[in-house]
Amino acid sequence: MVKSTNIIYDYRPHEECGVFGIFDHEQQAGLETYYGLFALQHRGQESAGITISDGKSMETFRGMGLVTEVFRQIPEKEGFIGIGHVRYSTTGSSVSSNIQPLQAEGINGSVAIAHNGNLTNTISLKTRLLQGGATFQTTMDTEVIIKLLARSKERRIEDQIKEVMSEIRGAYALVVCTNHSLYGVRDPLGYRPLVIGQTEKGWVLASETAALDLIDAQYYRDVQPGEIVTIDEEGLHSEWFEAYRPARLGMCSFEYIYFARPDSIINGQSVYEARLEMGRQLWKEAQFDGDVVMSVPDSGNVAARGYAEVSGIPYSVGLLKNKYMGRTFIKPGQKNREIAVRMKLNPIRCNVEGKRIVLIDDSIVRGTTSGIIVRLLKKAGAKEVNLLISSPPVCYPCYFGIDTAERKQLIGATHTLEEIRKFIGADRLQYLSEEGLARAISCIPKKDMCMACFNGDYPEVLDTEGQKKE
């Protein structure tokens, strides 16, 4: 986690980043990649970067900030291959040297890579590379990947990627480009999403289908766990990494709960429909009565509508979100935390006053923000605030690309349900069960879904680096 004197007071889990790639002779790669990253901005707001190739040379453009801040002008370099990245740091500091894509020179010439996820054996791999004479300019696990790739003696890029996949462990959805081809790679457990889109004359890779929609590309399918997709002059073809066959998959359930845009399709299922069903499942399990159903915007909006639909309780907007909040840095302290939340959310008093509210949010991490929101609603005249969470309690840290706190800081790990309710100040509190969540995310068998942040059942064995977060 980033350490600084000024920090963002948003206690939700954070995704690491979003990736995008395009191979299309009929399109301006830089412009299309810009649009794709704009659609993925919710996945990372610290930095953005674009790499463009015209088939002969490659150039990378990067900067700190939002996509629109970094690229006030679209890169002028012409090209038909492009990859892009938006970042929220989980491994490595939030500094300019850690901006992706990373570009290097390998046996086949220039190569660039953008990575979404988090490796669990970074320290051991980096130590080995350092002992072999490598130097590092960043603190990211992504640099470990690109150095392994550049050092491979295999002639084919696909074989170089397979060699790297045999060494790295953890979560990775990669877009890689050379001056001739675009590649998409998903780890064998499928932690992080990666989809394929098709344009009239080319192909697109992206973390979410929302990025395809913006550039008018048609959703083709998901990159499968362990698959290496190659896009070149001959079209799209793929190979499989066979050396590591996990006993189960580990597709991230939090993509459906919070991270992905509701208009995206992940692993073949509409995120909107999954969240709607989470709300329906909450009604089946809790059946909290009230005068109105409200959400904590925007993450609780769809689940709240699902709850209202099946319960018959009217849905109403109780909290207005400031659309111009952006990235606000607030100094530590309880008063400043409350100011940060109030800058983002404000009650609509006429909808709140005198009402028994059923309030729906996606998760509780430390509990601080939830408590502030409950107090805001009660100060605005709410008669009751009954809080429902569309996920199970977050009790364990994530090592696969989500920035959660250490376990001792997770309120679900250190307090009972009643203690959490009292701490937050809600009149009633209930979480969605793991079974209810699995029913909502119907595209993935429960055994292939990563719920480790809820139950500690990690899909693969963690090394000593991973254990440090405990």
**DSSP secondary-structure letter at 175?**
E
Beta-ladder partners of 53: 58, 81
Strands (E) in 121-259, as ranges, are 170-177, 182-186, 195-198, 203-206, 218-222, 227-232, 235-240, 251-252
Q: Which of 17, 177, 350, 443 is catalytic?
A: 17
- Can you read off the two tokens belonging to residue 46? 């610290």
Q: Is-contact 405 365, C-beta < 8 A?
A: yes
Q: Is-contact 269 277, C-beta < 8 A?
A: no
Cα 293 to Cα 283: distance, rounded to the nearest angstrom: 11
Q: Does 370 carry a binding-site annotation? A: no
Cα 466 to Cα 396: distance, rounded to the nearest angstrom: 12
Q: Is-contact 359 318, C-beta < 8 A?
A: yes
Q: Does 450 carry a binding-site annotation? A: yes
**DSSP secondary-structure letter at 188?**
T
Max intra-chain CA distance, the chain: 71
Nearest to 207 by CA among 147, 271, 161, 274: 271
17 annotated active-site: yes
Q: Work out the angle at residue 270's Cα, subtended by the Cα atoms of residues 410 and 250, and round it to the nearest 5 degrees.
A: 50
Q: Is 148 helix (H, G, I), strand (E, B) or coil?
A: helix
- Residue the block writes with tokens 């992206």: 206
Q: Is-contact 243 166, C-beta < 8 A?
A: yes
- Can you read off the two tokens belonging to residue 351? 């909808």
Helix or strand (DSSP H, E) at 342: helix 334-344
Q: Does 54 carry a binding-site annotation? A: no
Q: Does 350 carry a binding-site annotation? A: no
Cα 436 to Cα 158: distance, rounded to the nearest angstrom: 40
Nearest to 38 by CA among 214, 194, 198: 214
Q: Is-contact 51 403, C-beta < 8 A?
A: no
Q: Which long-range contacts (CB under 8 A, 24 or more apart) does 232-238 make?
A: 232/23, 232/180, 232/181, 232/182, 233/180, 235/203, 236/196, 236/203
Helix or strand (DSSP H, E) at 29: helix 29-39
Rg (CA), the chain: 22
All residues at 6 or more sequence positions from 183 whose CB lies less than 8 Å from its CB, including other chains: 157, 158, 161, 174, 175, 176, 177, 228, 229, 230, 231
Cα 366 to Cα 303: distance, rounded to the nearest angstrom: 21
Active site residues: 17
Please give the annotated binding residues for [4Fe-4S] cluster, written as ranges. Answer: 252, 398, 450, 453
Please give the annotated binding residues for Mg(2+), written as ranges. Answer: 299, 361-362
Please give the annotated binding residues, written as ranges. Answer: 252, 299, 361-362, 398, 450, 453
